[in-house]
């Protein structure tokens, strides 16, 4: 009886080990490195400048040659300095103000990717949820009521973010070349809009409010790894 139990236990462990080995063998993992071009939209697009960045991805297929995979993205983005004048209609006599904004963001997201596997080119769509940090420098300066004025109105925080995008991967001399575009939404970002700044003499009214940070991100890079992809 003990011998039978021992043999059964050994067979069960061997079967489990074999199954795990097969599962690992059929798993396909790819890694990508990219450069980014960022185009701010909406309210954020009124003050933020064009952005550049770098990004890395991991794409995991539990089964090679299957359309569904898990995708992660981790990247760093910088929006160049941009200066916007406050509309003269908002200001009193002897007043002229401008708002300068620049920003650095770190972002991370994880979500599904759906691809149509093909030899020459593989189109895909994806979506992620995660976070985006903001290190925003915002300076309002100029003259208010004939008096020099300057105030700092930056923001530093981490906020929820989600993305939705599509792209294509093609065979290259080394690995795959990926070109993709995504819409990125980040919330709880506090900043000032030029259209909302007013003054009364030397008193300037400029309130930071919580707003979305809408962006269109263009991604170009190389993807390596994978099995049968």
Does any domain span residue 141?
yes
Q: Which of 7-21, 50-64, 160-174, 202-216 has the lowest mean pLDDT?
A: 7-21
The confidence score (pLDDT) of residue 26 equals 58
For residue 99, give the CATH number of its domain.
2.40.160.20
Does any domain span residue 11?
no
- As for how many domains the chain has, the answer is 1
CB burial of residue 34 (10 Å; 0-12, 13-18, 19+): buried
**Tens-digit pLDDT profile for residues 49-78:** 999 999 999 999 887 777 899 999 999 999
Does any domain span residue 8?
no
The confidence score (pLDDT) of residue 13 equals 36
Range of the domain at 205: 26-225
CB neighbour list of residue 177: distance below 8 Å, 6 or more residues apart: 169, 170, 171, 220, 221, 222, 223
Answer whether 96's CB lies under 8 Å from 142's CB.
yes
Does any domain span residue 1?
no
Does any domain span residue 6?
no
Element (H, E) at 19: helix 2-26
Predicted confidence band of residue 142 (pLDDT cuts 50, 70, 90): very high
Mean pLDDT of 101-105: 98
- CA 111 to chain CA mean position, Å: 12
Q: Which of 100-109, 113-122, 143-152 has the lowest mean pLDDT?
A: 113-122
**Tens-digit pLDDT profile for residues 2-54:** 434 433 433 333 333 333 333 444 578 999 999 999 999 999 999 999 999 99
**Tens-digit pLDDT profile for residues 77-96:** 999 999 999 999 999 999 99
Closest CA to 152 of 169, 164, 140: 140
Predicted confidence band of residue 117 (pLDDT cuts 50, 70, 90): confident
Q: How many residues make up the chain in this entry? A: 229
- Both tokens of 219, joined, read 């991604």
DSSP letters spanning 29-86: EEEEEEEEEEEEEHHHHHHPPPEEEEEEEEEEESSTT-SEEEEEEEEEEEEEEEEEEP
Enumerate the β-bridge partners of residue 176.
Answer: 171, 223
Does any domain span residue 15?
no
The two counts, helices (H) then strands (E), for the chain are 2, 11
Does any domain span residue 48?
yes
Does any domain span residue 90?
yes
């Amino acid at each position: 009886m003990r011998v039978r139990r021992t043999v059964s236990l050994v067979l069960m462990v061997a079967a489990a080990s074999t199954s795990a080995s097969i599962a690992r063998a059929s798993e396909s993992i790819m890694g990508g490195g990219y450069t980014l071009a960022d185009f701010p939209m909406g309210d954020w697009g009124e003050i933020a400048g064009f952005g550049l960045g770098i990004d890395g991805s991991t794409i995991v297929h539990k089964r090679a040659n299957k359309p569904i995979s898990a995708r992660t993205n981790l990247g760093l983005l910088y929006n160049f300095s941009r200066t916007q004048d406050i509309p003269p209609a908002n200001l009193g006599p002897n007043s002229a103000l401008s708002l300068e904004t620049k920003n650095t963001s770190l972002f991370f997201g994880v979500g599904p990717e759906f691809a149509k596997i093909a030899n020459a080119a593989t189109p895909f769509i994806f979506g992620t949820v995660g976070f985006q940090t903001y290190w925003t420098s915002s300076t309002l300066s100029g003259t208010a009521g004939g008096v020099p004025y300057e105030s700092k109105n930056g923001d530093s925080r981490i906020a929820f973010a989600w993305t939705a995008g599509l792209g294509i991967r093609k065979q290259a001399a080394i690995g795959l070349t990926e070109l993709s575009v995504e819409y990125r939404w980040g919330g709880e970002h506090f900043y000032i809009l030029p259209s909302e700044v007013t003054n009364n003499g030397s008193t300037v009214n400029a309130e930071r409010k919580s707003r979305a940070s809408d962006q269109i991100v263009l991604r170009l890079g190389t993807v390596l790894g994978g099995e049968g992809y």
